[in-house]
């Protein structure tokens, strides 16, 4: 197992109430899993991702990576960080380098990649996120729009070709073209057999990309299973979540109650199924 969380709880040291931000959460993430981590604001999603990557230490319980705890420093921590790439919730606010190309290369330099590889890999990653290096490479990251900086944050992680991606609201602040870019980057990542934990308010995107779903509610894990859950409008609502737009539209199709219960998890699937209904 890539990650094992065993009955973890987490209380922020700066919390005045001493309330648990995560409470008795156990879960497993296998290599190659694509998991949608969903829950209303404040349910503990960002906290959970930070525990996975070892940025926070659980107050109670254990976090294991490949069967062993994540140390606070040293070679193994570096190894974990290289294999697990995390894009933070407000990544667009965290830009360190003087140029877009250097920013994309940041992780590679940190991990002592050979210089010729650094240039090639960071240029490739910039192209992948729709910031062609010829046009953007020499710019200052501060000249970029918020959405472009979000793309840049993704590029500096993708440049390392991580086995597992932890993405905290990667679609926030992106326009529809940016959303499509994200979709194709993640689809390619998945086709390469690699995994991701995706936190996104865009449940249509989460549903389309992730066969597995984990739901947090008030710091507790309330669901861990297949993406059929996106069709349980009542349950989602009880956790403070609105069903994906596709599900709402799908459930509104007149007469669909007469057809066998088929579920579409993406717009393209929906179109194929609609065609089939028409031909019946
Ligand atoms: N630095 C912090 N100090 C104290 N409490 C925090 C801190 N960060 C988050 N929290 C609290 O922990 C809970 C979970 O937060 P978070 O993991 O950010 O939720 P989500 O990402 O699902 O919106 C919330 O109640 C939040 O107020
Ligand atoms: Mg969050």
Q: Which atom of ligand 1 lies at the shortest distance from residue 50's CA?
A: 17
Radius of gyration of the chain (CA): 20
User: What are the pLDDT digits (tens) for 153-205?
Assistant: 999 999 999 999 999 999 998 999 999 999 999 999 999 999 999 999 999 99
Q: pLDDT value at position 137?
A: 96
CA of 44 to the centre of ligand 1 (A): 6
* Long-range residue pairs from 17-23, CB within 8 A, at least 24 positions apart, any chain: 20/59, 20/219, 21/47, 21/219, 22/47, 22/48, 22/51, 22/58, 22/216, 22/219, 22/220, 23/218, 23/219, 23/220
Q: pLDDT value at position 280?
A: 64
Domains along the chain with CATH numbers: 1-70+163-241 (3.40.50.300), 91-162 (no CATH), 244-280 (no CATH)
Ligand that comes closest to the CA of residue 214: 1
Q: Report the predicted TM-score, pTM, of the whole model to 2 decimal places.
A: 0.94
Q: pLDDT value at position 196?
A: 98
Q: pLDDT value at position 93?
A: 81
Question: Is ligand 1 within 6 A of the CB of residue 14?
Answer: yes
Ranges under pLDDT 50 in the chain = none
User: What are the pLDDT digits (tens) for 216-241?
Assistant: 999 999 999 999 999 999 999 999 99
CA of 168 to the centre of ligand 2 (A): 7
Question: Is ligand 1 within 6 A of the CB of residue 240?
Answer: no
Ligand that comes closest to the CA of residue 216: 1
Residue with tokens 């109430």, as numbered in its chain: 17
Residue ID of nearest Cα to ligand 1 atom 14 = 44
């Amino acid at each position: 197992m890539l990650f094992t969380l065993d009955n973890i709880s987490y209380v922020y040291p700066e919390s005045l109430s001493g309330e648990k931000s995560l409470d008795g959460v156990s879960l497993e993430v296998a290599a190659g899993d694509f998991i949608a981590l969903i829950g209303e604001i404040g349910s503990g999603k960002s906290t959970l991702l930070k525990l996975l990557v070892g940025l926070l230490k659980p107050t109670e319980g254990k976090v294991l990576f490949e069967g062993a705890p994540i140390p606070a420093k040293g070679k193994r921590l570096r190894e974990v960080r290289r294999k697990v790439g995390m894009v933070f919730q407000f990544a667009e606010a965290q830009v360190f380098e003087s140029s877009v190309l250097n920013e994309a290369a940041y992780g590679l330099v940190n991990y002592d990649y050979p210089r010729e590889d650094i240039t090639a890999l960071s240029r490739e990653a910039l192209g992948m996120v729709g910031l062609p290096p010829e046009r953007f490479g020499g710019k200052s990251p501060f000249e970029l729009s918020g959405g472009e900086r979000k793309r840049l944050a993704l590029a500096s992680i993708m440049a390392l070709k991580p086995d597992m991606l932890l993405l905290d609201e990667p679609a926030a602040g992106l326009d529809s073209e940016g959303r499509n870019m994200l979709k194709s980057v993640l689809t390619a990542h998945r086709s390469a057999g690699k995994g991701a934990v995706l936190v996104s308010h865009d449940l249509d995107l989460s549903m389309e990309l992730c066969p597995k779903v984990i739901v947090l509610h008030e710091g507790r894990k309330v669901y861990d299973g297949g993406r059929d859950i996106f069709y349980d409008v009542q349950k989602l609502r009880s956790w403070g979540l609105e069903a994906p737009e596709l599900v709402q539209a799908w459930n509104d199709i007149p007469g669909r109650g007469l057809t066998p219960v088929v579920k579409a998890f993406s717009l393209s699937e929906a179109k194929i199924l609609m065609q089939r209904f028409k031909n019946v």
